[in-house]
Copies of this chain bind each other. A is one copy, B any other.
Amino acid sequence: MLSVIMAGGSGQRFWPRSRQRHPKQLINLTGQGSMISVTVERMRAFSRPEEIIILTNVTQAEAIARDVDGEVPRENIIGEPVGRNTAPSIGLAAVLIERRFGDKPFMVLPADHLVSDLDIFERSVRQAEAFARDNDSLLTFGITPTRPETGYGYIRAGETLSDTDGVSLFRADSFHEKPSIEKAREFLGSGDFFWNSGMFLWRPRVILEAIQTHLPDLDSMLLELAQRLGTESIDDVLKSIYGDAPKVSIDYGVMEKADNVVVVRGDFYWNDVGSWESIREMFSKDKNGNVLVGDHIVVDGKGNTVFSPDRLVGVVGLEDVVVVDSGDAILVAKRDRVQQVRDVVEALKRDGKDHLT
């Protein structure tokens, strides 16, 4: 099986640890390595190094190549000259894979999500791969929800198609945007709704035909790409035509419209790592609910989050505050306001402090 890792994010939300030139996928949040190297390691259960393709933007390609040096061949790290969202990236990957490997299934997954319960993950992927080999289906991984989360999109599952080795596959019924808390509670209670994880599995031919049907403009670009790859380098071709691709996500452009979508139920732990807040659940808490990554002292503090691997932080008399140190900058935020870290980054840009963004 092929693995296509999407590593295009810029990650303002993890400032001050993430920067324009050091985006979220290159951060070591868990202590086990950068997010992308953990993702590569996860996919090595299914793919040899030459079967792993990383799609990123051209400004990040070198930094990513250094980060996964020896794990993924340099020529498998593709730098897009401009970002056009996920549909063009996935179409590009499908063209490259079909040329080099034929109509072999490939899994698409973001570089900057976290997964644990790897035995369950592996069983789910193997069942999905077997199904994709034999069926002209677009498979998407739906995560069994564990709370009424309002920050994720949901997929509603329909008819059960198979149930093998503890892994259920369903026909997809409908896609749902991020819900209100009331809707999210309803979704959780119904048992039919799954978190839309942004992880997919299919054969090149199947996704390219879906693109032909639902995104004809993208299809034209991909046909030209495939043709010119015979005589030109990929970088040259991308520079010449990639900017013409429509800027559209695979969810909106294909998945929500196609009638051959299948949901693979994922019972493993999954986290899209959307903010400093979302990763609290990855870590153990002290008896007062503080998450302390690094060696820290809390005096009369509850529910705080401290990410400071190199410098000691003393917290006194605070509740629900997140502190992050990056060496040259420090974030101190109320936990429920941490998404506004983007405003800090914007202010830094306005102040001409680009080296800190």
Q: Which residues of A contact B (CB under 8 A)?
A: 15-16, 295, 297, 299-300, 308, 311-318, 321, 323, 325, 328-334, 336-338, 340-341, 343-344, 347-348, 351, 353, 356
Cross-chain contact A321 with B332 (CB below 8 angstroms)? yes
**Cα–Cα, bound, A314→B330 (Å):** 6
* 6 further interface pairs, Cβ-Cβ under 8 Å (given A299-B344, A312-B329, A313-B329): A297-B344, A311-B328, A314-B348, A316-B331, A316-B340, A317-B334
Instruction: Report B-chain residues with C-beta under 8 Å of the C-beta of A333.
Output: 314-318
Cross-chain contact B332 with A313 (CB below 8 angstroms)? yes
Cross-chain contact A330 with B316 (CB below 8 angstroms)? no
Most chain B CB inside 10 Å of its own CB: which residue of A316, A337, A351: A316
Instruction: Report B-chain residues with C-beta under 8 Å of the C-beta of A15.
Output: 314
Cross-chain contact A340 with B297 (CB below 8 angstroms)? no
Cross-chain contact B330 with A323 (CB below 8 angstroms)? yes
Cross-chain contact A330 with B337 (CB below 8 angstroms)? no
Cross-chain contact A318 with B332 (CB below 8 angstroms)? yes
Most chain B CB inside 10 Å of its own CB: which residue of A15, A16, A312, A329: A312
Instruction: Report B-chain residues with C-beta under 8 Å of the C-beta of A329.
Output: 311-314
Instruction: Report B-chain residues with C-beta under 8 Å of the C-beta of A337.
Output: 300, 316-317
Instruction: Report B-chain residues with C-beta under 8 Å of the C-beta of A332.
Output: 313-316, 318, 321, 323, 332
Q: Contacts A299-B340, A299-B347, A347-B299 hold; do A334 and B314 have CB atoms under 8 A apart?
A: no
Instruction: Report B-chain residues with C-beta under 8 Å of the C-beta of A314.
Output: 15-16, 329-333, 341, 344, 348
**Cα–Cα, bound, A297→B313 (Å):** 20
Cross-chain contact B312 with A356 (CB below 8 angstroms)? yes
Cross-chain contact A343 with B312 (CB below 8 angstroms)? no
Give min CB distance, A329 to chain B, whole Å: 5
**Cα–Cα, bound, A338→B334 (Å):** 18
Give min CB distance, A277 to chain B, whole Å: 12
Q: Which residue of B lies closest to A318 (CB)?
A: B334
Contact of A330 among B300, B308, B328, B351 (CB under 8 A): B308
Cross-chain contact A297 with B348 (CB below 8 angstroms)? yes
**Cα–Cα, bound, A325→B344 (Å):** 18
Instruction: Report B-chain residues with C-beta under 8 Å of the C-beta of A331.
Output: 313-314, 316
**Cα–Cα, bound, A325→B348 (Å):** 19
A-B contact pairs, 10 of them (CB 8 A): A16-B312, A295-B353, A300-B340, A308-B330, A313-B331, A313-B332, A314-B330, A314-B348, A316-B343, A318-B334
Instruction: Report B-chain residues with C-beta under 8 Å of the C-beta of A330.
Output: 308, 311-314, 323, 325, 330
A-B complex: 5 closest residue pairs judged by Cβ atoms: A317-B337, A316-B333, A317-B334, A314-B344, A299-B343
Instruction: Report B-chain residues with C-beta under 8 Å of the C-beta of A325.
Output: 330
